[in-house]
Amino acid sequence: MQSFWVEYLVIMVPFIMGLIGPGPDFVMIIRNSATGTRQSGVFTALGLGCGVLTHASYTIFGLGMILAQHPEVINGIKYCGATYITYIGIRALMSKKQTSSDIDLKGAPATTMTPFQAFRVGYFTQILNPHAATFILSMLLSVQLSPLSWRMSYGLSMCISAVIWYSAISIFLTDRRLRQAFLRVGHIINWVAGVVLIGLAIRLVLTKVEVALPVAG
């Protein structure tokens, strides 16, 4: 059992370090939380976590090795992801400044995304992020000879860690003391997020994405 915890730390420490780094998922949770509601932020976090679980699941159950051996599939994910991120970025850039009539008595936007919409944005942001896909693929393929129950524990822990981290960001950003301040500059947050997302999409297209396959023997 000691070897399980050693392997667990070898997998989870790099994953958590990568999780807290900047990327499309980080920008998306900030945008949806700061310009929306706590509910939209938390459901975005759930979507991001389920995206992580999807990457982990297909790797654990064998599809990951097939994907790793076909770089054209990874490139397809890369271009789909860049297109989706660009689309979200353009929509953010087109957002308008909110007036007092756009904010309800509780200090929340009068119109905001539904839980399903927030979940969908989070899920597709994660599932179409080739860096997340290749990172999780590489990590879990490196322990493909470990017991299935161990690998499932790693995947589930990745999902839970992502949900906790992004939910914590959302809860912080939707604190009542910050709510009105964020809503007053919500259009600026949207514009900045739009520029950053489009920049990330361009960088994604120009970056070569590869999966580190385990070495036999």
Q: What is the pLDDT of residues 66-121, one digit of tens each?
A: 776 777 777 888 888 889 889 888 988 887 665 444 444 344 444 568 899 999 99
Domain annotation covers residue 19: no
The count of domains in the chain is 1
Q: Is residue 60 part of a domain?
A: yes
pLDDT given at position 191:
84
- Among 67, 8, 11, 48, smallest CA distance to 129 is for 48
Whether 85 is in a domain gets the answer: yes
| Domain, as residue range, for 84 | 2-6+24-103+113-206
In this structure, is residue 61 part of a structural domain? yes
Per-residue b or e along 111-127, where b marks 16 or more CB atoms closer than 10 Å to that residue's CB: ebbeeebbbebbbbbbb
Give dist(CA 202, CA 204) in Å, integer.
Answer: 5
The verdict on residue 17 lying in a domain is no
Residue 13, in any domain of the structure: no
Predicted TM-score of the model (pTM): 0.83
